[in-house]
Chain A
Amino acid sequence: MRGLGLLSPEIFLSACALGLLLGDTRALRRPLRRLAGVLPHLAVLACAGAMGLVCLSASVPEELRGAGGLWAVDPMAVFFKILVLGACILVLWLSLDYRSKTPHGHPGSYGALVMLCAVGMMLLVGATDLLLALLAFELVSVSSFILAGFESRDPKSSEGAIKYFLIGAFSTGVMLYGISFYYGATGTTSLAAAQAAARTHAPLVLLAALFWIVGLGFKASLVPFHFWVPDAYEGAPTPITTFLSIAPKLAALAFLVRVFGHMLPHGVLGLGGLFALLAMLTMTFGNLVAMFQDNVKRLLAYSSIAQAGYILIGLATGDALGREGLLLYCLAYLLMNAGAFAVAIAVGNEDGYELSAYDGLACRSLGLALLMTLFLLSLAGIPPLAGFVGKFYLFAAAVGGGFWLLAVVAVLNSVVSVYYYMRIVVHMFFKEPVRPQAPALGLYLCSSLALAAAGVLLLGIYPEPFVAAVKSSAVLLTIAP
């Protein structure tokens, strides 16, 4: 049962999620009333425990790493599992300090859904079989549909969730359709047969691959598969927006890397140009539309679309440098995006999510305004912050791989993005405050902010340990076909 042992973090997390779900049931709610406040903390603890189990595999690689027929536990999978769990912990923390106009009152199922979603993503980033990938994909999708519509009394939340659901269901169908082509070509759903099949049945495998890209493109919110993003992000509870903008996107990108950076490298199907095109479209469209947003959640939603475009550069170049850059940028993106959303939650709890809520934030609370500036500048790629190091790596990969057009489009996009990130800064620093009180900051919000800011600065100023970690994490294990 060595193969199953590799899955111990996922099994642990699923068990915890199911246990947490019990806490919300009608039968147990009354006797456990006193414990209702503890449930979210238990969720955080469970995620932290799972992260510990994942990290264990780094200490005893010979026992806890390996590749099976369905899944692989290799350095890259471990890296993304840690990112996903980190995102979960941050999001659960943020949820504790999030004040909604329409509170939901289901702390148990809320935490459990986030954890189940995390299980799905952890399986997805390590999947080497399409059937498992599809199951994981569905687990992620279904739990995030519910999370997006969690504030069921808010019509915007329901609208976003329904849009998300319809498009998500469609993308699963497309993905499944692609898998059926692949099965037709190879007679198996294992990706191990992909390279050989691509040589013998090139058109069929190519078609299948295109369908997968479409399906995963929805999840990773690549243009032109991004329609659901702004509405779902705006309607969802803000911590869930944070979650959706980070975790599923990174997981989908990780699976794309596994398939198209490793199992079916560019040399086999020649999709490098397609990914470069997708990257350029995604970043350009996301940035251009973000310029016209007056709601911070929507602005950050479009910014997250653009950010996925930068990440895709690493896939487009297809070499080791690109893959390392992608991993590094994913880490930076997790920190800076979570940080920006944390400030949005702090401000939004009392003043809402319109840009005007940020008027004079520098006078109300200079620290919060400086932190937001830090995260926004990092997202824009200004040194010496995490986003710059990530972009530097990715642009280097593009230049080194000879993708000149991609590199030029990407740097121009960085310039454009500064304009709308600075719009928030203009409101914070150059406008007069409506009221003098500083926004209230809860303990968990403070700690998330501190964690994100420390990470952004550390990764920006002293990236060496992170670069070294990324270099050793960019390894994928191959399974015998």
Chain B
Amino acid sequence: MGILSAIILLPLLGAAIILCVPKDKPRVVQGIAVAALVLDLLLALWALASFDPGTLQMDALSFSFVEKLPWIPSLDIHYHVGADGLSFPLILLTALLSLVAGVYSLNITVRVKEFFFWYLLLETGLLGVFAALDFFLFYLFWELTLVPMYFLIGVWGGPKKEFAAIKFFLFTLFGSVFMLLGILALYFNSTPHTFDMVQLMAAHAGFSREFQILVFLAFYLGLAVKVPAFPFHTWLPLAHVEAPTGVSVLLAGVLLKMGAYGLLRISYSMLPAGFQWFLPVLVIIAFINILYGALCAMDQTDMKKMVAYSSINHMGYCMLGMAAVSSIGFSGAVLQMITHGLITGALFLLVGVVYDRAHTREIGAFGGLGSVVPVYAGIMSLTCFASLGLPGLAGFVSEFLCFLGAFPAWKWVTILSVSGILVTAAFFLRMIEKVFLGPLDSKWEGLPDMNARELLAVLPLTALTVAIGVWPRLALDLMNPTVTYLGRLFPDLFGALR
């Protein structure tokens, strides 16, 4: 078994072991879960050492850690996994966020065994989506994320958890069944019939433009719900707010990236004519996401809801970068996926920290906290600055690259989209002001500062945010050859934009 399979299957193994532990031993369950999460991250880091991102001049995608085993030979379905510069950073991100969110979730006290069972199952699904190179496998992992997430929201969530859980389930499933039809359509129209994603990336020449548009739309339904692109975003604020903190981190940090990843891996690479046909609409949707998400976030009084809406805004930047269809735009989009995962993941953790203590997330309920919880205030402010795109922090680099890439192709939309940054800055600064500055409300005087578990969860994300902000090549070197290659593809379709 290769290292990539080990990374994917280790959490599954952990989940199976947890299932065998009696439920009155929560400590053992937590120990196994953390061990599995730590080992998984270590494996991912070990893989990083031998990961080959390829060269800038390569003329085909180079996948590392490829494993291809026959799985259902009668239908020509293989267990085919591999990682390239597009998926490997996301795999690293998933392993990291799963660990920190898992460490944070050690504060869960009810039904611990079930929680970590579903949690580890979810991690396997998330990792698998990014690693799969066979459509059957891809769809399997894609759906595998649904059920654990449903339970994680539905059992351990907030007051409206049941509705949030089923809405999330039905919305995503609605999108993904159309994706399934798209997969089948690709299978029957490729010669020879295949579910192999690498082969399908080379097969687009045989697809007519009309066919590509139709299949693009089928895939888009599935991917847009995950991104989430306007108008399929309505599940997001609900699910993010109701989910327990650790799960919100994975929802925002990783789950949304599945959609964006699919847009590049499938929609763009396999259906370029469909992508080109949809491009004007995609730009508009990206713009709506940016502005609408930011304005909605501004309107919120609940910190968690605000962060949730800011995710819609940030995924808008990501889509804008993709709409550039150039190497710069793509590297901005992929980097935005990573930085948004780090920053928003940290933000959700930090909102969870204050909620655990004060049992409220209303911005108006606080004031002057900076003097009581200085460490918390410092980290929170830094993360907010990163999220609003302050130079020197990770968010700035990716957003800058997205705008830089999009500008030559879509001047006006890009100029208008920059206003989104202003709104983002406005609501984050307003929150910092209302929560940390001003006179201290006496009822918060005894508020304890962050404890070791919380620091352990948040600090790695903060450190990476600063590190990528100062030295972006840390992340960009991993993805550059792949996105450069992708950005060069299809000159006859997108040449005019570049």
- Residue numbers of A with Cβ under 8 A of B are 362-363, 366, 373, 377, 382-384, 388, 392, 395-396, 399-400, 407-408, 411-412, 414-415, 418-419, 422, 426, 429-430, 462-464, 467-468, 471
Contact = CB atoms under 8 A, between A and B. Distances in A.
Interface in B152-192: 154-155, 161-162, 166, 169-170, 173-174, 177-178, 180-181, 184-185, 187-188
Given A382-B143, A382-B146, A471-B74, A419 B23 contact: no
Given A395-B180, A396-B187, 8 more contacts: A383-B144, A399-B184, A407-B181, A415-B173, A418-B169, A422-B166, A430-B154, A430-B155
Contacts of B72: 463-464, 467
- Among all A-B residue pairs, the 3 with the closest Cβ atoms: A411-B177, A399-B184, A383-B140
A419 B170 contact: yes
A377 B121 CA distance: 15
B73 A464 contact: yes
B139 A426 contact: no
Interface in B123-158: 136, 139-140, 143-144, 146-147, 150-151, 154-155
Contacts, number: 77
A232 to B, nearest CB: 31
Given A463-B72, A464-B74, A366 B177 contact: no
Given A382-B143, A399-B188, A400-B188, A418 B75 contact: no
Interface string B208-232: 0000000000000000000000000
25 contacts: A366-B23, A366-B114, A373-B147, A377-B147, A382-B147, A383-B143, A384-B140, A388-B143, A395-B184, A399-B181, A400-B188, A407-B184, A411-B177, A411-B181, A415-B177, A418-B170, A419-B170, A426-B154, A426-B162, A429-B155, A430-B162, A463-B72, A467-B72, A468-B74, A471-B74
A412 B154 CA distance: 23
B71 interface: yes
A386 to B, nearest CB: 13
Contacts of B170: 415, 418-419
Contacts of B154: 426, 429-430
A467 B146 contact: no
A363 B187 CA distance: 44
Contacts of B166: 419, 422, 426
B184 A415 contact: no
A392 to B, nearest CB: 8
B69 to A, nearest CB: 11
B271 to A, nearest CB: 16
Given A430-B155, A464-B72, A468-B74, A399 B185 contact: yes
Contact of B169 (A366, A414, A422): A422
Given A383-B144, A426-B154, A464-B74, A418 B184 contact: no
Contact of A396 (B71, B143, B184): B184
Nearest to B71: A464
A415 B168 CA distance: 12
Contacts of A366: 23, 113-114
Contact of B151 (A382, A429, A462): A429
Contact of A411 (B73, B114, B180): B180
Contacts of A412: 174, 177
A395 B169 CA distance: 21
A358 B139 CA distance: 31
Contacts of B139: 383
Nearest to A470: B74
Interface size class of B (residues with CB under 8 A): 35 or more
A430 B177 contact: no
Contacts of A463: 72
A411 B178 contact: yes
A408 B181 contact: yes
B181 A395 contact: yes
A244 B400 CA distance: 64
A415 B172 CA distance: 9
Nearest to B184: A399
Contacts of A396: 184, 187-188
Contacts of B150: 422
A362 B169 contact: no
Identify the interface centre among B71, B155, B184: most chain A CB within 10 Å of its CB.
B184
Contacts of B74: 464, 467-468, 471
A291 to B, nearest CB: 12
Nearest to B140: A383
Contacts of A373: 147
Contacts of A399: 181, 184-185, 188
A362 B110 CA distance: 13
Nearest to B150: A422
B273 to A, nearest CB: 20
Nearest to A468: B74
B420 to A, nearest CB: 33
Contacts of B146: 382
A373 B114 CA distance: 13
B241 to A, nearest CB: 17
Identify which of B74, B170, B185 gathers the most chain A CB atoms within 10 Å of its CB.
B74
A415 B174 contact: yes
A400 B184 CA distance: 8
Contacts of B174: 412, 415
B410 to A, nearest CB: 33
A422 B173 CA distance: 13
Contacts of A388: 140, 143
B75 A467 contact: yes
Nearest to B188: A400
B180 to A, nearest CB: 6
Nearest to B179: A411
A229 to B, nearest CB: 26
A467 B184 CA distance: 17
Given A399-B188, A418-B169, A418-B173, A362 B114 contact: yes
A395 B181 CA distance: 8
Nearest to A380: B173
A400 B189 CA distance: 9
A462 B75 CA distance: 12
Contacts of B169: 418, 422
Contacts of B162: 426, 430
A341 B181 CA distance: 31
A430 B161 contact: yes
B199 to A, nearest CB: 18
A362 to B, nearest CB: 7
Nearest to B157: A430
Among A418, A419, A467, chain B packs the most CB atoms within 10 A around the CB of A418
Contacts of A419: 166, 170
B172 to A, nearest CB: 10
A182 to B, nearest CB: 37
B83 to A, nearest CB: 21
Contacts of B23: 366
Contacts of B144: 383-384
B189 to A, nearest CB: 10
Contacts of B184: 395-396, 399-400, 407
A372 to B, nearest CB: 13
A412 B113 CA distance: 34
Nearest to B110: A363
Nearest to A408: B181
Contacts of B136: 392
A411 B178 CA distance: 7
Interface in B69-104: 71-75
Interface string B103-124: 0000000010110000000000
A400 B144 CA distance: 25
Contacts of A430: 154-155, 161-162
A409 to B, nearest CB: 11
Given A400-B188, A430-B155, A414 B71 contact: no
Contacts of B185: 399
Nearest to A460: B140
A408 B174 CA distance: 11
Contacts of A392: 136, 180
Contacts of A414: 173, 177
